[in-house]
């Protein structure tokens, strides 16, 4: 076999096995803060005044709902070591029927944060190619680990929620863990830097006193009929670009 023919075959084989790259979409440029902050659920730090609001308004699962039943929005910033979120959720009924942290947690009222550290996309249901954090009303953070079991990840995320009437304000800091994080051995935190891209989405599970949640409402548009994909597929996440 001629060398040129061998090279052609190798190149052809490689091109057929190239992993598709996630397409950047719903891009948000995130401003850095060098100011001190306290995660207390108040969002009183001055740097939040320079951040834009983004809506949580895409109905990923469930029938249509009223503005009085639910509406949400968020702001986002970053420091050297953490992503920072300020989230406002108006929900006419806060309901968390399953008190055990690992029992049907997705049917409780909760905030969900989806993080893909290197913005690579792809499947992540039973691996940490990306995270699907579930933030419960009782300050527990949960995801499914590489052994296909639910696990608490309270060391990854710090948050406080203050609720007045139907408005809940969530203030959140997230330690971004590198792709390939191992639930048992590897606690590798990614140091954030200018122009880094991170896959990102938010969602809210809304249960109005039923055995199951009525709605799952996200921050990014998902084409097609099956919109409940974020817990499996990081391709649908939006893209954060960190700026100073």
Interval 39-91: pLDDT, tens: 999 999 999 999 999 999 999 999 999 999 999 999 999 998 899 999 999 99
CA dist., res. 137 & res. 95, Å (int) = 9
List b or e across 72-100, with b for residues whose CB sees 16 or more CB atoms inside 10 angstroms.
Answer: bbbbbbbbeebbbbbbbbebeebeeeeee
CA dist., res. 110 & res. 134, Å (int) = 7
Residue 65, C-beta contacts closer than 8 angstroms, at least 6 positions apart: 59, 206, 214, 215, 217
pLDDT at 16 over 60: no
CA dist., res. 125 & res. 149, Å (int) = 11
The band of 190, judged by pLDDT with boundaries at 50, 70 and 90, is confident
Domain residue ranges of the chain, discontinuous segments joined by +? 20-243
Question: What mean pLDDT is predicted for residues 206-215?
Answer: 94
Residue 182, pLDDT score: 66
Residue 80, pLDDT score: 86
Query: Which position has the token pair 């949580």?
Result: 56
The band of 186, judged by pLDDT with boundaries at 50, 70 and 90, is low
**CA neighbor of 78 nearest in space, from 14, 35, 138:** 35
Q: Please answer whether residues 105 and 136 qualify as being in contact, where contact means their C-beta atoms are separated by less than 8 angstroms.
A: yes
The band of 20, judged by pLDDT with boundaries at 50, 70 and 90, is low
pLDDT at 231 over 80: yes
pLDDT at 21 over 90: no
Residue 101: exposure state from Cβ atoms within 10 A (0-12, 13-18, ≥19): middle
Alpha helices in 44-159 (DSSP H): none
- The residue with greater pLDDT, 115 or 17, is 115
Question: What mean pLDDT is predicted for residues 154-179?
Answer: 96
The band of 19, judged by pLDDT with boundaries at 50, 70 and 90, is low
| pLDDT, tens digit (0-9, with 9 covering 90-100), for 101-114 | 999 999 999 999 99
pLDDT at 2 over 80: no
pLDDT at 6 over 90: no
Residue 181, pLDDT score: 74
CA dist., res. 45 & res. 36, Å (int) = 8
Q: Please answer whether residues 74 and 202 qualify as being in contact, where contact means their C-beta atoms are separated by less than 8 angstroms.
A: yes
Which two three-digit tokens encode residue 31? 């401003």
Q: Please answer whether residues 171 and 92 qualify as being in contact, where contact means their C-beta atoms are separated by less than 8 angstroms.
A: no
Residue 103's SS3 state is: coil
φ, ψ of residue 30 in degrees (nearest 5):
-105, 125
CATH of 20-243, one of 1.10.10.10, 2.60.40.1230, 2.60.40.1190, 3.40.1280.10: 2.60.40.1190
Q: What's the pTM?
A: 0.89
Q: How many CA atoms lie within 13 A of 83 on its CB side?
A: 29
pLDDT at 183 over 80: no
């Amino acid at each position: 076999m001629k060398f040129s023919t061998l090279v052609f075959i190798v190149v052809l084989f490689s091109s057929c096995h190239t992993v598709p790259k996630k397409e950047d979409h719903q891009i948000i440029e995130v401003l850095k803060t060098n100011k001190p902050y306290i995660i207390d659920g108040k969002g009183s730090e001055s740097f939040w005044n320079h951040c834009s609001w983004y809506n949580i308004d895409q109905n990923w699962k469930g029938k249509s709902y009223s503005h009085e039943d639910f509406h949400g929005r968020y702001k986002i910033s970053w420091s050297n070591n953490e992503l920072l979120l300020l989230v406002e959720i108006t929900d006419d009924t806060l309901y968390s029927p399953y008190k055990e942290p690992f029992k049907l947690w997705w049917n409780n009222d909760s905030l969900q944060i989806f993080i893909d550290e290197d913005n690579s996309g792809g499947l992540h249901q039973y691996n940490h190619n990306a995270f699907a954090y579930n933030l419960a009303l009782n300050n527990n953070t949960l995801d499914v680990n590489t052994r296909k079991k639910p696990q608490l990840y309270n060391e990854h995320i710090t948050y406080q929620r203050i609720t007045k009437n139907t408005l809940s304000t969530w203030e959140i800091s997230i330690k971004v863990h590198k792709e390939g994080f191992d639930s048992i051995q590897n606690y590798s935190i990614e140091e954030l830097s200018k122009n880094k891209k991170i896959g990102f989405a938010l969602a809210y599970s809304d249960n109005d006193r039923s055995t199951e949640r009525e709605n799952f409402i996200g921050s990014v548009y998902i084409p097609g009929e099956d919109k409940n994909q974020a817990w499996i597929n990081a391709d649908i996440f939006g893209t954060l670009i960190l700026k100073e």
